[in-house]
Amino acid sequence: MPDPRIEITVGDITAVAVDAIVNAANSSLLGGGGVDGAIHRRGGPAILQECERLRRSHYGKGLPTGAAVITTAGNLPARHVIHTVGPVWSGGTNREPELLANCYRNSLRVAVEHGLKSIAFPGISTGIYRYPKEQAARLAVETVGAFLAEHPELERVVFVCYDQESHAIYQRLLHQRGAADAGARRS
């Protein structure tokens, strides 16, 4: 049985009511296309203002790939946005799996450090950064599952899929992980 704290849905991450949504940001933190642009547009100017302040105070050269920072969520139903920069896929030979795992791990770490109980993730790097959906989802499920095993204080993790194809991939991978965990417990 999959971890009951993990949910999968198809929809718009900017409409999810959780403590924090994760933004698949670009390193500038100043908005862009895809999820990043949607979060900045719907969240309003407060997000951009905090991102600009972060740029001036800590990330003048941009947020490093795999790192994560937190801001307000402005007008969104979430309370916070955790911004992380995913790797651009270039065949898997430039540390892409390690960097993508860091996106999930560091976002979860920031959530725990701020006492948050719920977080929602998009498919980080699977859009314009071209990370293969299956590989990205497998890494997300494994990384989040391992983190949750050590952090019972996190009550809810939502994978918000852009399309039915991604939803089916996550669903299959979560069921496989649940079956493997159940088998390991019986051994």
The domain limits of the chain are 6-186
Average pLDDT (82-88) is: 97
Question: How many CA atoms within 13 Å lie on the side-chain side of 160?
Answer: 20
Percent of the chain whose pLDDT exceeds 70:
95
Rounded-to-integer distance, Cα 41 and Cα 10, Å:
20
Q: Tokens 């795992």, residue?
A: 101
Written as six digits, the tokens of 82 are 């955790």
**For residue 11, what pLDDT band results from cuts at 50, 70 and 90?**
very high
* Helix or strand (DSSP H, E) at 20: strand 20-25
**For residue 151, what pLDDT band results from cuts at 50, 70 and 90?**
very high
The pLDDT of residue 185: 59
**For residue 2, what pLDDT band results from cuts at 50, 70 and 90?**
confident
* Helix or strand (DSSP H, E) at 7: strand 6-10
Catalytic residue among 3, 12, 19, 36: 36
Provide the total of helices (H) and of strands (E) in the chain, helices listed first.
5, 6
- Bridge partners of 81, per DSSP, are 21, 71
Distance separating the N- and C-terminal Cα atoms of the chain: 16
In CATH, the architecture of 6-186 is: 3-Layer(aba) Sandwich (3.40)
Tell if the pTM clears 0.75, that is, is over it. Answer: yes
pLDDT one-digit tens code per residue, 27-53 = 999 998 899 999 999 999 999 999 999
Q: Is 36 a catalytic residue?
A: yes
The pLDDT of residue 144: 97
Q: How far is CA 163 from CA 30, 112, 122, 169, in A?
A: 26, 28, 11, 10
Q: Tokens 């159940």, residue?
A: 182
Q: Has residue 181 got a pLDDT over 70?
A: no
